[in-house]
Amino acid sequence: MENPTEKKGMPLLGDVFPEMKVQTTHGQIDLPGHFAGKWFVLFSHPADFTPVCTTEFVAFQKRYDKFKALNCELIGLSVDQVFAHIKWEEWIKENMDVEIQFPIIADTGSVAERLGLIHPGKGTNTVRAVFVVDSESKIRTILYYPQELGRNMDEILRIVKAMQIADKNKVAMPANWPNNEIVNDHVIIPPASDTRTAKERLEQAKKGEFECFDWWLCHKKL
Protein backbone atom coordinates (compact mmCIF):
# COMPACT_ATOMS: atom_id res chain seq x y z
CA MET A 1 0.00 0.00 0.00
CA GLU A 2 1.41 3.40 -0.94
CA ASN A 3 2.22 5.93 1.75
CA PRO A 4 0.12 9.04 0.98
CA THR A 5 2.77 11.27 2.61
CA GLU A 6 5.66 9.90 0.53
CA LYS A 7 7.07 12.48 -1.86
CA LYS A 8 6.81 11.55 -5.54
CA GLY A 9 8.97 12.72 -8.42
CA MET A 10 12.58 13.77 -8.44
CA PRO A 11 13.86 15.58 -5.34
CA LEU A 12 14.13 19.36 -5.32
CA LEU A 13 16.35 21.92 -3.61
CA GLY A 14 15.74 21.87 0.13
CA ASP A 15 14.36 18.33 0.15
CA VAL A 16 15.93 15.71 2.38
CA PHE A 17 17.87 13.30 0.18
CA PRO A 18 15.64 10.22 -0.29
CA GLU A 19 16.49 7.14 1.74
CA MET A 20 17.77 4.22 -0.32
CA LYS A 21 20.04 1.19 -0.14
CA VAL A 22 22.65 1.15 -2.90
CA GLN A 23 25.24 -1.38 -4.01
CA THR A 24 28.65 0.20 -4.47
CA THR A 25 32.28 -0.66 -5.04
CA HIS A 26 32.62 -0.32 -1.23
CA GLY A 27 29.71 -2.66 -0.48
CA GLN A 28 26.11 -1.87 0.34
CA ILE A 29 25.52 1.68 1.58
CA ASP A 30 22.46 3.29 3.13
CA LEU A 31 21.89 6.80 1.82
CA PRO A 32 21.89 9.40 3.20
CA GLY A 33 22.63 7.81 6.58
CA HIS A 34 26.06 6.54 5.56
CA PHE A 35 27.23 10.16 5.40
CA ALA A 36 25.46 11.33 8.55
CA GLY A 37 27.01 14.57 9.83
CA LYS A 38 28.90 15.11 6.58
CA TRP A 39 28.26 16.86 3.31
CA PHE A 40 28.39 14.66 0.24
CA VAL A 41 28.40 15.07 -3.52
CA LEU A 42 26.56 12.39 -5.47
CA PHE A 43 27.39 12.58 -9.16
CA SER A 44 26.18 10.41 -12.02
CA HIS A 45 28.01 9.61 -15.24
CA PRO A 46 26.71 8.09 -18.49
CA ALA A 47 28.84 4.93 -18.50
CA ASP A 48 32.11 3.28 -17.48
CA PHE A 49 34.96 3.00 -19.99
CA THR A 50 34.00 6.23 -21.77
CA PRO A 51 36.47 9.06 -22.41
CA VAL A 52 34.81 12.10 -20.83
CA CYS A 53 33.75 10.11 -17.76
CA THR A 54 37.31 8.87 -17.32
CA THR A 55 38.63 12.44 -17.29
CA GLU A 56 35.97 13.37 -14.73
CA PHE A 57 36.80 10.54 -12.33
CA VAL A 58 40.49 11.37 -12.45
CA ALA A 59 39.65 15.03 -11.79
CA PHE A 60 37.36 14.18 -8.85
CA GLN A 61 39.97 11.87 -7.31
CA LYS A 62 42.73 14.48 -7.63
CA ARG A 63 40.53 16.84 -5.58
CA TYR A 64 39.22 14.24 -3.15
CA ASP A 65 41.42 15.47 -0.28
CA LYS A 66 40.11 19.01 -0.81
CA PHE A 67 36.52 17.75 -0.57
CA LYS A 68 37.32 15.77 2.57
CA ALA A 69 38.92 18.88 4.10
CA LEU A 70 35.45 20.45 3.79
CA ASN A 71 33.88 17.48 5.61
CA CYS A 72 32.48 16.38 2.25
CA GLU A 73 32.48 12.91 0.67
CA LEU A 74 32.08 11.84 -2.95
CA ILE A 75 29.97 9.03 -4.41
CA GLY A 76 29.59 8.25 -8.10
CA LEU A 77 26.79 6.48 -9.96
CA SER A 78 25.97 4.95 -13.32
CA VAL A 79 23.74 2.20 -14.68
CA ASP A 80 26.57 -0.33 -14.79
CA GLN A 81 27.24 -3.51 -12.86
CA VAL A 82 29.66 -3.40 -9.96
CA PHE A 83 32.24 -5.57 -11.72
CA ALA A 84 32.35 -3.03 -14.58
CA HIS A 85 33.06 -0.26 -12.06
CA ILE A 86 35.85 -2.35 -10.51
CA LYS A 87 37.48 -3.16 -13.88
CA TRP A 88 37.24 0.52 -14.88
CA GLU A 89 38.88 1.57 -11.61
CA GLU A 90 41.65 -0.96 -12.31
CA TRP A 91 42.12 0.46 -15.83
CA ILE A 92 42.37 4.01 -14.46
CA LYS A 93 44.95 2.87 -11.87
CA GLU A 94 47.02 0.98 -14.45
CA ASN A 95 46.90 3.60 -17.19
CA MET A 96 46.50 6.93 -15.36
CA ASP A 97 48.24 6.01 -12.09
CA VAL A 98 45.21 7.31 -10.18
CA GLU A 99 43.44 5.17 -7.58
CA ILE A 100 39.72 5.92 -7.22
CA GLN A 101 39.10 5.96 -3.47
CA PHE A 102 35.44 6.97 -3.26
CA PRO A 103 32.54 4.54 -3.81
CA ILE A 104 30.64 4.19 -7.09
CA ILE A 105 27.00 3.07 -7.08
CA ALA A 106 26.20 0.12 -9.36
CA ASP A 107 22.66 1.05 -10.33
CA THR A 108 20.08 -1.18 -11.97
CA GLY A 109 18.22 1.92 -13.08
CA SER A 110 15.99 2.32 -10.03
CA VAL A 111 18.18 4.96 -8.34
CA ALA A 112 18.59 6.91 -11.58
CA GLU A 113 14.83 6.86 -12.14
CA ARG A 114 14.14 8.01 -8.60
CA LEU A 115 16.58 10.91 -8.87
CA GLY A 116 15.56 11.90 -12.40
CA LEU A 117 18.92 11.07 -13.96
CA ILE A 118 18.00 9.15 -17.11
CA HIS A 119 19.08 11.07 -20.21
CA PRO A 120 16.15 11.55 -22.65
CA GLY A 121 16.73 9.61 -25.85
CA LYS A 122 19.90 7.92 -24.53
CA GLY A 123 18.50 4.59 -23.35
CA THR A 124 19.59 3.82 -19.79
CA ASN A 125 22.47 6.30 -19.82
CA THR A 126 22.39 8.85 -17.02
CA VAL A 127 22.97 12.56 -17.41
CA ARG A 128 25.98 14.15 -15.75
CA ALA A 129 24.08 15.20 -12.65
CA VAL A 130 25.46 16.56 -9.38
CA PHE A 131 23.62 16.61 -6.05
CA VAL A 132 25.32 18.59 -3.28
CA VAL A 133 23.88 17.43 0.05
CA ASP A 134 24.60 19.12 3.38
CA SER A 135 25.36 17.63 6.80
CA GLU A 136 21.64 17.52 7.62
CA SER A 137 20.99 15.44 4.47
CA LYS A 138 19.27 18.32 2.67
CA ILE A 139 19.86 18.84 -1.06
CA ARG A 140 21.45 22.26 -1.47
CA THR A 141 22.52 22.32 -5.14
CA ILE A 142 21.52 20.35 -8.25
CA LEU A 143 23.48 20.56 -11.52
CA TYR A 144 22.78 18.85 -14.87
CA TYR A 145 25.20 18.57 -17.78
CA PRO A 146 24.76 16.94 -21.21
CA GLN A 147 26.84 13.90 -22.13
CA GLU A 148 29.18 15.88 -24.35
CA LEU A 149 30.20 18.36 -21.61
CA GLY A 150 32.50 17.34 -18.79
CA ARG A 151 32.06 19.00 -15.43
CA ASN A 152 34.27 21.59 -13.73
CA MET A 153 35.26 20.02 -10.41
CA ASP A 154 36.73 23.26 -9.09
CA GLU A 155 33.26 24.79 -9.42
CA ILE A 156 31.75 21.92 -7.43
CA LEU A 157 34.39 22.46 -4.75
CA ARG A 158 33.57 26.19 -4.79
CA ILE A 159 29.88 25.39 -4.31
CA VAL A 160 30.52 23.27 -1.22
CA LYS A 161 32.88 25.82 0.33
CA ALA A 162 30.64 28.79 -0.50
CA MET A 163 27.50 27.12 0.86
CA GLN A 164 29.24 26.24 4.11
CA ILE A 165 30.47 29.83 4.53
CA ALA A 166 27.00 31.19 3.72
CA ASP A 167 25.41 28.89 6.30
CA LYS A 168 27.92 29.66 9.03
CA ASN A 169 27.88 33.44 8.58
CA LYS A 170 24.28 33.99 7.39
CA VAL A 171 25.47 35.72 4.23
CA ALA A 172 25.13 35.27 0.48
CA MET A 173 27.90 34.69 -2.04
CA PRO A 174 28.43 36.94 -5.08
CA ALA A 175 29.02 35.78 -8.64
CA ASN A 176 32.41 34.18 -9.23
CA TRP A 177 33.22 34.29 -5.52
CA PRO A 178 35.94 34.68 -4.32
CA ASN A 179 36.92 36.67 -7.41
CA ASN A 180 33.88 38.85 -7.95
CA GLU A 181 34.19 41.78 -10.36
CA ILE A 182 32.48 44.23 -7.96
CA VAL A 183 33.23 43.17 -4.38
CA ASN A 184 36.28 40.91 -4.89
CA ASP A 185 36.37 38.28 -2.12
CA HIS A 186 33.73 39.96 0.06
CA VAL A 187 30.41 38.30 0.91
CA ILE A 188 26.97 39.82 0.49
CA ILE A 189 24.82 40.87 3.43
CA PRO A 190 21.22 39.76 2.82
CA PRO A 191 18.99 42.69 1.74
CA ALA A 192 16.96 44.56 4.34
CA SER A 193 13.35 43.42 4.54
CA ASP A 194 11.85 46.51 6.19
CA THR A 195 12.26 50.30 6.15
CA ARG A 196 13.95 50.56 9.55
CA THR A 197 16.63 48.04 8.66
CA ALA A 198 17.19 49.71 5.29
CA LYS A 199 17.94 53.03 7.02
CA GLU A 200 20.16 51.33 9.60
CA ARG A 201 22.24 49.72 6.87
CA LEU A 202 23.65 53.01 5.63
CA GLU A 203 24.36 54.16 9.18
CA GLN A 204 26.19 50.91 9.87
CA ALA A 205 28.20 51.41 6.71
CA LYS A 206 29.24 54.88 7.88
CA LYS A 207 30.51 53.29 11.09
CA GLY A 208 32.63 50.89 9.08
CA GLU A 209 30.74 47.72 9.99
CA PHE A 210 30.50 46.87 6.29
CA GLU A 211 30.42 48.61 2.91
CA CYS A 212 27.35 49.57 0.86
CA PHE A 213 26.67 50.76 -2.66
CA ASP A 214 23.11 51.32 -1.42
CA TRP A 215 20.97 49.93 1.40
CA TRP A 216 20.11 46.85 -0.66
CA LEU A 217 23.68 46.08 -1.80
CA CYS A 218 25.99 45.77 1.17
CA HIS A 219 29.07 43.60 1.51
CA LYS A 220 31.87 42.80 3.91
CA LYS A 221 35.08 40.86 4.22
CA LEU A 222 34.92 37.87 6.52
CA 69 – CA 76 distance, rounded (Å): 19
Write the Ramachandran bin of 125: left for phi over 0, alpha for psi from -120 to 50, otherwise beta: beta
Contacts of residue 208, Cβ cutoff 8 Å, sequence gap at least 6? none
Catalytic positions: 53
Please answer whether residues 98 and 58 qualify as being in contact, where contact means their C-beta atoms are separated by less than 8 angstroms.
Answer: yes
* DSSP for residue 137: S
CA 186 – CA 175 distance, rounded (Å): 11
Contacts of residue 148, Cβ cutoff 8 Å, sequence gap at least 6? 52
Task: Report the DSSP beta bridge partners of residue 61.
Answer: none
Residue 43 phi, psi (nearest 5):
-130, 135
